[in-house]
């Protein structure tokens, strides 16, 4: 092992003892690791409820399928868009901060609202925490499952919508493994077309060296009502071979996996090629350079204009404490939010009422899952996420009138 690969090499000298203690606590911890307290220098000032924005930081790719008339090519453009989101979702934070940091756990009802404005018009984001797992004095949140974030992203100009929800359950076995529960639904109403998208599982590499980063593993799918399915297999750098953040994807008529129409190969943090047919040496159809493609900035209202439950306003003092390294301030302000939430849950229990989400609703029977889920082995799993969550246009129109994006 070289000097640059020694335990804790990615951590400053004064923090190495704390990092070693944290690793030992992870190894001996049983249960969901999201509740484990991380050392101050590994804390992020960003809440998990903001992570929904990573789906659409390239609006031109997000809306591109709606501009294509051919259904096969539309399905390919949906696959290309999805693959383009992976770098933002799973690597942008480690690139920004030098390593992956532990995000803030959202509180029930926490909101994150924003919009992207560019040549494609306005693309809007609504993200809401619809479940948490805070406990205190016998009072529990509305679930026994991992915290769940629901989101909706839409571009009215091009008639494109993405909605979904996800929970994360973390465990330790030589490294941190994170199972993602939930799914996303991409819709193009003009073509009466819907795509069901599963979420990749991941694990954290670089822990021993104090430079954690995300690597994706296993397989995800995108299957469409137009009759096409994409399968994405993730792999990373092994001991002897392979490249970091690698994947191979194939697109085929649903139910005919051997009849490959397109193959996509590359690294989701760098670049990938879209090839015709099943062979990696076949004709090049398109390519994408993740390193050269710039993101569109997300516009968020100033703190003073945000709703009290909007993420950046609610966590502002905690974020300030993290930024300046004042862990007393962080602890005190986090404590205030947690106490307030517990008091609300206690009041609801005493009044015999239940918390109601503002933008999303549970559905008992979902036509998208019923139609498309069987082709990729995806079920609802409501017991793990408190239900199947869908964007509620009726609720949303009322709430957005109250919390208007500036």
Of the candidate ranges 98-112, 229-243, 345-359, the one whose mean pLDDT is the lowest: 229-243
Q: How confident is the model at residue 348 (pLDDT cuts 50, 70, 90)?
A: very high
Q: Are 213 and 205 in contact (CB under 8 A)?
A: yes
Q: How confident is the model at residue 30 (pLDDT cuts 50, 70, 90)?
A: low
Q: Which two tokens stand for residue 73?
A: 């090519």
All residues at 6 or more sequence positions from 185 whose CB lies less than 8 Å from its CB, including other chains: 162, 163, 164, 194, 195, 196, 197, 368
Say how far apart CA 319 and CA 130 lie, in whole Å: 22
Report pLDDT for 3: 39
If you average pLDDT over residues 295-315, what whole number do you get?
A: 95
Structure confidence by residue, pLDDT tens digits, 359-384: 999 998 899 999 999 999 999 888 88
Buried residues in 12-45 as b, exposed as e (16+ CB within 10 A): eeebbebbbebbeebeeeeebbbeeebbebbbbb
Q: How confident is the model at residue 6 (pLDDT cuts 50, 70, 90)?
A: low
Report pLDDT for 147: 87
- Per-residue DSSP letter, 310: B
Residues of the chain by 3-state class (helix, strand, coil), percent to 5:
35, 30, 35
CATH T-level topology, domain 3-214+300-402: Alpha-Beta Plaits (3.30.70)
How does the average pLDDT of the chain come out, rounded? Answer: 87
pTM as predicted: 0.90
Q: Which of 268, 233, 234, 262 is nearest to 250 (CA)?
A: 262
Report pLDDT for 14: 60
Is the predicted pLDDT of residue 7 greater than 60, yes or no? no
If you average pLDDT over residues 315-324, what whole number do you get?
A: 93
Phi-psi region of 327 (alpha: psi -120 to 50; beta: other; left: phi over 0): alpha
Structure confidence by residue, pLDDT tens digits, 63-116: 999 999 999 999 999 999 999 999 999 998 776 656 778 889 899 999 999 999
Of all residues in the chain, the percent with pLDDT exceeding 70 is 82
Say how far apart CA 184 and CA 33 lie, in whole Å: 24
Please report, for the chain, the start and end positions of each structural domain, with discontinuous segments joined by +: 3-214+300-402
Q: How confident is the model at residue 1 (pLDDT cuts 50, 70, 90)?
A: very low
Say how far apart CA 303 and CA 308 lie, in whole Å: 9
Report pLDDT for 404: 62
If you average pLDDT over residues 236-248, what whole number do you get?
A: 76
SS3 for 153?
A: strand
Of the candidate ranges 25-34, 47-56, 324-333, 335-344, the one whose mean pLDDT is the lowest: 25-34
338, burial (CB in 10 Å: exposed 0-12, middle 13-18, buried 19+): middle
Q: Are 148 and 131 in contact (CB under 8 A)?
A: yes
Of residues 5 and 195, more confidently modeled: 195
Query: What Cα–Cα distance (Å) separates residue 40 from each residue in 206, 315, 320, 379?
Result: 18, 16, 13, 38
If you average pLDDT over residues 253-279, what whole number do you get?
A: 95
If you average pLDDT over residues 143-170, what whole number do you get?
A: 89
Say how far apart CA 160 and CA 401 lie, in whole Å: 21
Q: Are 112 and 311 in contact (CB under 8 A)?
A: yes
Report pLDDT for 135: 45
């Amino acid at each position: 092992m070289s000097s640059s690969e020694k335990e804790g090499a990615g951590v400053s000298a004064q923090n190495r003892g704390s990092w070693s203690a944290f690793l030992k606590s992870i190894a001996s911890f049983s249960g969901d690791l999201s509740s484990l307290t991380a050392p101050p220098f590994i804390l992020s000032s960003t809440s998990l409820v903001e992570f929904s924005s990573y789906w659409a930081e390239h609006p031109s790719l997000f809306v591109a399928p709606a501009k294509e008339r051919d259904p096969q090519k539309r399905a390919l453009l949906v696959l290309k868009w999805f693959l383009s989101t992976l770098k933002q979702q799973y690597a942008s934070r480690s690139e920004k901060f030098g390593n992956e940091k532990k995000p803030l756990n959202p509180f029930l009802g926490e909101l994150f609202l924003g919009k992207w404005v560019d040549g494609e018009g306005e693309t809007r984001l609504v993200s809401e925490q619809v479940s948490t797992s805070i406990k205190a004095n016998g009072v529990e949140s509305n679930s026994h499952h991992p915290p769940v974030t629901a989101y909706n992203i839409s571009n009215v100009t091009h008639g494109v919508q993405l909605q979904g929800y996800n929970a994360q359950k973390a465990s330790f076995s030589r490294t941190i493994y994170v199972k993602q529960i939930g799914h996303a639904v991409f819709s193009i109403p003009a073509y009466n077309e819907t795509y069901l998208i599963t979420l990749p599982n991941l694990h954290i590499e670089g822990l021993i060296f104090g430079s954690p980063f995300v690597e994706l593993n296993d397989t995800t799918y995108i299957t469409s009502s137009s009759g096409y399915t994409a399968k994405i297999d993730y792999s990373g750098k092994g001991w002897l071979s392979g490249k970091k953040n690698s994947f191979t994807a194939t697109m085929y008529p649903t139910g005919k996996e051997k009849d490959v129409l397109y193959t996509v190969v590359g690294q989701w943090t760098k670049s990938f090629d879209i090839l015709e047919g099943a062979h990696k040496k076949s004709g090049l159809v398109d390519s994408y350079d993740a390193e050269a493609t710039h993101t569109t900035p997300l516009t968020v209202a100033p703190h003073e204009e945000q709703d009290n439950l909007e993420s950046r306003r609610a966590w502002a003092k905690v974020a300030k404490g993290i930024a300046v390294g004042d862990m007393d301030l962080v602890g005190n302000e986090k404590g205030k939010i947690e106490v307030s939430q517990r008091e609300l849950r206690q009041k609801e229990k005493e009044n015999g009422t239940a918390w109601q989400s503002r933008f999303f609703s549970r559905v008992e029977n979902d036509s998208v899952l019923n139609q498309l889920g069987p082709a990729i082995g995806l079920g609802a799993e409501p017991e793990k996420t408190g239900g199947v969550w869908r964007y509620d246009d009726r609720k949303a129109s009322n709430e957005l009138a109250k919390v208007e994006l500036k």
